[in-house]
Chain A
Amino acid sequence: AQSVTQPDIHITVSEGASLELRCNYSYGATPYLFWYVQSPGQGLQLLLKYFSGDTLVQGIKGFEAEFKRSQSSFNLRKPSVHWSDAAEYFCAVATYNNNDMRFGAGTRLTVKP
């Protein structure tokens, strides 16, 4: 079965600094990969997704992620972090019919002024 590892439980960055959140997945076939963001007490909002094609995908709020099959990774990046980006970020992997989406444990992002 597929699985996701987010190695960083908590990351702190200064406002305006760049950000990279790591995600490693395990899945035998071509994975469908996602990044979601969750603010306190809220549901999940989809930032971006990778199904196939161009390995660099653009998402909302200035986020992008790169799929690297050789490294089984799908890291999330943002060139300049804003205070409003402080939240919990989840990477997820799914099968083609999405009947068992697996999430990582999440990375909590703190943004310093």
Chain B
Amino acid sequence: DAGVTQSPTHLIKTRGQHVTLRCSPISGHKSVSWYQQVLGQGPQFIFQYYEKEERGRGNFPDRFSARQFPNYSSELNVNALLLGDSALYLCASSSGTGLEQYFGPGTRLTVT
């Protein structure tokens, strides 16, 4: 079975631009979570979606938004990019709002 997939793998953007990251969960999984991992740190929770509804939000500014589609794939959008948004963005899926999450390989975003 395919695991969690994310696209693109790498991305370079300029300050002030907008970016969209995509995630496809494991087949049958209805919950998707997004995390930001800055170099040298642990992942930080951004959002959780379940059945297309937001179920949790971390301490991130409103420039960050996400949505989940009927096929359970998800997009993370970041507006007005800052240098500090440079990070590895991880998507994780689970069969429900519990507990065992499976992570994708991540999207490496560099903001210049």
Write out, one digit per residue, whether chain B residues 39-56 have a CB within 8 A of any chain A CB (1) or not (0). 011111100100000011
- Please state if A97 and B105 are interface contacts (CB–CB under 8 Å): no
Indicate which residue in A4, A46, A51, A99 contacts B55 across the interface (CB closer than 8 Å). Answer: A99
What are the residues of chain B within 8 A of A51 when measuring CB–CB? 99
Convert A90-113 into 0s and 1s, putting 1 for each residue whose CB lies closer than 8 angstroms to a CB of B: 101010111111111110000000
Q: Interface 1/0s, chain B 79-105, versus A by CB < 8 A?
A: 000000000001010100111111111
B103, A98: Cβ atoms under 8 Å? no
- How many A-B residue pairs lie within 8 Å, measured between CB atoms? 63
A36 to B58 Cα, complex, angstroms: 20
Chain B residues touching A, range: 20 to 34
Is B42 touching A105 in the complex (CB atoms < 8 A)?
A: yes
A46 to B99, CA, bound (A): 12
B44 contacts across to A, CB distance below 8 A: 103
Q: Which residues of B contact A56 (CB under 8 A)?
A: none
Contact yes or no, B99 A49, CB < 8 A: yes
| Smallest CB gap from B48: residue in A | A99
Q: Is the CB of A44 within 8 A of B97?
A: no
Q: In the complex the two chains form, is A43's CB within 8 Å of B106's CB?
A: yes
Residue B73 at the chain A interface, CB threshold 8 Å: no
Q: Which of B20-43 contact A (CB under 8 A)?
A: 33, 35, 40-43
Q: What is the CB-to-nearest-CB distance from B18 to chain A, in angstroms, rounded to a whole number? A: 24
For A99, the chain B residues whose CB sits under 8 A away are 33, 48, 55-56, 97
Chain A: interface residue count, which band?
Answer: 20 to 34
Which residues does chain B contribute within 8 Å of A46, judged by CB atoms?
100-102
- Asked, given contacts A44-B90, A46-B102, whether A98 binds B43 with beta carbons under 8 Å apart, the answer is no
Shortest CB-to-CB span from A97 to chain B, Å, is: 4
Whether the pair B42, A103 counts as a contact (CB closer than 8 A) is: yes
Kindly supply a per-residue 1/0 record for chain A positions 33-66, scoring 1 wherever the CB is within 8 Å of any chain B CB and 0 otherwise. 0001000001111100101000000000000000
A residues sitting closer than 8 Å to B (CB atoms) are 4, 32, 36, 42-46, 49, 51, 90, 92, 94, 96-106
Task: Please report B residues at the A interface, Cβ cutoff 8 Å.
Answer: 4, 33, 35, 40-45, 48, 55-56, 58, 90, 92, 94, 97-106
